[in-house]
Amino acid sequence: MKAPITSSAATQTEFTRSGLCGLPLKSAGVSGGEGTFPRQARILRRADFRHVYDHGIRFPGPLFAAFCLAQPAPQSDAPPARACARLGLTVPRAVGASVERNRIRRRIREAFRMHRATLDPRWDIVLNPRRASLTAPFPEIERAVIKVIERCNSR
């Protein structure tokens, strides 16, 4: 007769389980939920990018141009459309080779992930990085992302 196998998988899923937009369902003393950047928090479809470009507000900056669009609030009896703000990144080839473009994406995505809880969930933001963001230190990128978030929230 074999002894029962005890796995810590059940306890691990308890801590890694997350609700909408990667925010934790319950606080269990582990800060893993806010550290994710789930699919619901991204702009992925071309039509969504186009809609933000065409109808959004443009905020130029030294590191990137930001396009922000507030989604209309749902009717009082309708369920909310979504639970978090979304980010889209379009890094043009003129910025650099694929390695450099991916590095910019990772750094900006990380800065947004760290501060997305402060952004009102109705916003869609598309960031179009400039070449200057390649050599910018991370705290400078983080400040620029915070500035965009503050400008969106003030509207």
CATH number, domain of 54, equals 3.30.230.10
Residue 43 in domain: yes
Query: Phi, psi (5° rounding) for residue 30?
Result: -115, 130
Measure Cα distances from 49 to 24, 67, 99, 119 in Å. 28, 9, 23, 19
Average pLDDT of span 48-69: 94
Task: Name the percent of the chain lying above pLDDT 90.
Answer: 54
Residue 94 in domain: yes
Instruction: Write out pLDDT tens, residues 80-130.
Output: 566 788 999 999 999 999 999 999 999 999 999 998 888 888 899 999 999
How far apart (Å, rounded) are the C-alpha atoms in residues 80 and 112? 22
Residue 136 in domain: yes
SS3 154: coil
Residue 1 in domain: no
DSSP code at position 75: P
How far apart (Å, rounded) are the C-alpha atoms in residues 35 and 48? 25
Taking 70 as the threshold, does the pLDDT of residue 6 lie above it? no
Is the CB of residue 134 less than 8 Å from the CB of residue 103? yes
Count of structural domains within the chain: 1
Residue 69 in domain: yes
Residue 46 in domain: yes
What is the average pLDDT score of the chain?
79
Query: Domain residues for 82?
Result: 39-153
Taking 60 as the threshold, does the pLDDT of residue 8 lie above it? no
What does the pLDDT read at residue 10?
43
What does the pLDDT read at residue 85?
87
What does the pLDDT read at residue 72?
79
Residue 118 in domain: yes
Residue 106 in domain: yes
What does the pLDDT read at residue 106?
93
